[in-house]
Amino acid sequence: MNQELRNLISLQELELKITSSQKQIADVPLQVQSIRSELEALRKTHQDRVAHLQELTKKRRAAEGEVDLMRTKLSRLKDQLMAVKTNKEYTAMLHEIQTAEAQIRGEEDKILEFMEELESLEKQVKSAEKELETSVRQLEERARLCEGSVPELESELARLASVKLELESHLSEDLLSRYRRLAEARKGVALAEARDELCSACHVRIRPQVYAELRSTEVLHTCDSCSRILYIRD
């Protein structure tokens, strides 16, 4: 393999690394935003759970207040029952007392349901608070590391750019131009390794004579299908 081809291979590998680093840097704001959105969703879920707990507590207190009023009313009805003078009035008053007692039992059943739901929800909230604290710490650390990686990536990018200039200086102008045209047409991949008599880029079979010459000569050959410059690794 001639030295220029070696340099071309190194250049392509270097440019692919540069592209990867550039993408990583460009992706950082999106990754951080994704983490922030995840944090916001976790906090919103917890806030909704707490709000539901508070709403249930209000309903329970309202039901307890209603029961207190009903008990006061029931007490008055029982007092009035002693003062009635006719059977008709007594029957009507007794029916009203029974209705009030049924209403009280219904409200008390509701209160019991609220209390059971509240007990379960309070446990969930307490457990979720601990999980939220852990998740928030982890996500904030991920965001911090993500943002903190940018200077290192930029430094590596600058180093790679410097090495790239050095490599380009060792290539002829014609070969570099040819490489550039191919790289632009083939999404940055101008060279393809020949492996098992196949082009590793497009997987088309290489003519036996060309494959043999790739091993024995320093002449540059291209793939008949994708036009990439072929090489066999030493």
Confidence check: pLDDT of 120 > 90: no
What is the overall mean pLDDT for the chain?
Answer: 90
Instruction: Give buried/exposed letters for 214-228 (b at 16+ CB in 10 A, else e).
Output: beeeeebbbbeebeb
One-letter amino acid at 77 equals L
Confidence check: pLDDT of 1 > 80: no
Percent of the chain with pLDDT over 90: 49
pLDDT at 160: 94
pLDDT tens for 163-175 read: 999 999 999 999 9
Cβ neighbours of residue 28 closer than 8 Å, sequence gap 6 or more: 146, 147, 149, 150
Confidence check: pLDDT of 200 > 90: yes
CATH number for the domain running over 3-171? 1.10.287.1490
Confidence check: pLDDT of 234 > 80: no
**What residues does each domain of the chain span?**
3-171, 172-234
Q: List residues bridging with 195 in a β-sheet.
A: 198
pLDDT at 130: 84
Average pLDDT over residues 202-228: 91
Confidence check: pLDDT of 7 > 80: yes
| Cα within 13 Å of Cα(60), Cβ side | 15
The answer to whether 107 and 70 are in contact (CB under 8 A) is yes
Confidence check: pLDDT of 188 > 80: yes
